[in-house]
Structure 1
Amino acid sequence: MSLHHEEPGLRERKRLATRRAIQRAVLTLSCERGLEKVTVEDISRLADVSPRTFFNYFPSKDAALVGDELDLASEEQIEAFVHGGRDGDILAQLAALLSVSLRNTEGDREIHQLRRQVMKENPYLFGMRMATLRNFEGRLQEIVTRRFVVDHPELGAGSAQLEQRALLFTLVAVAALRHAWRCWADSDAARPLATHVAASFADLYEMTLKTS
């Protein structure tokens, strides 16, 4: 399965750059001063945007601290995964799908590192962040379930066995993704996140599946 994607246009790149600048500013200031001493005006000044622009991107300071929900790939790319073939390497195909889905996070290593530091000092933010990850996990499980329905029609759509298998596969995949993300964030090298995702899934495959 090949998952091609177009590079974002100029407007989208500017939008992403502004979102990152705001997140970097609020996290940097929170690390320096403490969360309670940071205002939207402070954040906007450091990010070089107006407070009005800040609120166009985030509804609150906490929302900027927690950051964006993870996006999944396009519908076309999701359909390519769902119909990847029963004999296809589903782990490798899912790794490819997730790599494409996370392409907009490649410039966020510093933000991710800062967020981890702020969340250690403000545990309630960790709970908010985990809620966004659970939303992503739920959407991913829906896609995996669709793939299992196509690959295993004998189990029957909606059957308990199929749903349980899809849940197990999703949880394992999310664990591999979190492993890749942590390795990427902790690495000083310029190795792309997509490379870490592929490596984590390959290690998972090697550790859990028998080879002939």
Structure 2
Amino acid sequence: MSEAHELGLRERKRQETRRAIQVAVLRLVRQRGLDKVTVEDVSRMVNVSPRTFFNYFPSKSAAFIGEAPGIPSDADIEAFVHAGGGTESLVSQLMGLLESNLRRTEADRELYQLRLEVMRENSYLFGIYMATMRDFEQDLERILIRRFLVDRPELASDRQGLENRARLYALVATATIRHGWLRWANSDGTIPLSQHVRSSFDEMYEMTRRSD
């Protein structure tokens, strides 16, 4: 067996264990509530040690949340920051920046729907998840500030205005992504998540154009 093949198998096993832990947490939380689920309970269900659990997640809450929306690679960020206006709108370019990570989520519809069901039944758990979205929004804000300064360097003279502008775009982007997620989770699954989110961005862009 080649070293590359062995590394591939090892990574696939890691991904399977990571997913199994998340599924176990979600099923146990749905049955008992987060406060009545322990790391030991989850470990027994997945047939791993608590030590192995902590190799994947720092807490049961982190396992419950799973992968929150992430920011793409440094190369993708740099391309977005320096993309310029051109013929493509900033909204469309922002969607392009986020699209690759959305494809990662659409590959596991079952896990996402299970998490959504649990959050719908418990507003406290939904609040935990939304706290991670705030981290995502702050990352987007920093990226957007860089983009705005490249496009319009004069904005640097009004730091508060610059930050408010970036925050507005980040909040709208997050809400639009969530809209696409909900459409995807409540659909029959024939259309991928990234396409649902793209449609939500397109609709939002058309609404802003009509209101001009």
Matches within 5 A, 1:1-212: 10=8, 11-87=10-86, 88-156=88-156, 159-210=159-210
Cα deviation, 1:55-77, whole Å, max 9, x if unaligned, reads 21122222212223332100000
Task: Output the CA distance in 1 between the equivalents of 2:193 and 2:11.
Answer: 20
> Could you say what secondary structure the match of 2:107 adopts?
coil
Letter in 1 for 2:148: F
**Does structure 2 retain, via aligned residues, the 8 Å contact 1:72–1:102?**
no
Q: Which structure shows the bigger proportion of residues in helix conformation? A: 2
TM-score using structure 2 length: 0.83
Indicate the structure whose relative CO is greater, using CA pairs within 8 Å and at least 6 residues apart: 1
Shift of 1:35: 4.1
TM-score using structure 1 length: 0.83
Task: Output the CA distance in 1 between the equivalents of 2:132 and 2:103.
Answer: 18
Instruction: Provide structure 2 residue ranges, at least 5 long, that are not aligned to the other structure.
Output: 1-6
Q: Percent of aligned pairs with the same residue?
A: 56
Task: Output the CA distance in 2 between the equivalents of 1:23 and 1:106.
Answer: 16
Shift of 1:152: 1.3
Distance 1:119 1:70, change over 3 A: same
Shift of 1:12: 4.4
Shift of 1:174: 1.3
Q: Tell me the C-alpha RMSD between the 2 structures.
A: 2.4
Letter in 1 for 2:27: T
> Could you say what secondary structure the match of 1:162 adopts?
helix
Task: Output the CA distance in 2 between the equivalents of 1:40 and 1:154.
Answer: 52
How many pairs are equivalent?
203
Deviates more, 1:142-151 or 1:37-46: 37-46
Instruction: Provide structure 1 residue ranges, at least 5 long, that are not aligned to the other structure.
Output: 1-8
Cα deviation, 1:132-168, whole Å, max 9, x if unaligned, reads 1100000011111111111112323653332222221
Task: Output the CA distance in 2 between the equivalents of 1:36 and 1:171.
Answer: 31
Distance 1:132 1:192, change over 3 A: same
Distance 1:190 1:29, change over 3 A: farther
> Could you say what secondary structure the match of 2:69 adopts?
coil
> Could you say what secondary structure the match of 2:84 adopts?
coil
Letter in 1 for 2:24: A
Task: Output the CA distance in 2 between the equivalents of 1:126 and 1:97.
Answer: 26
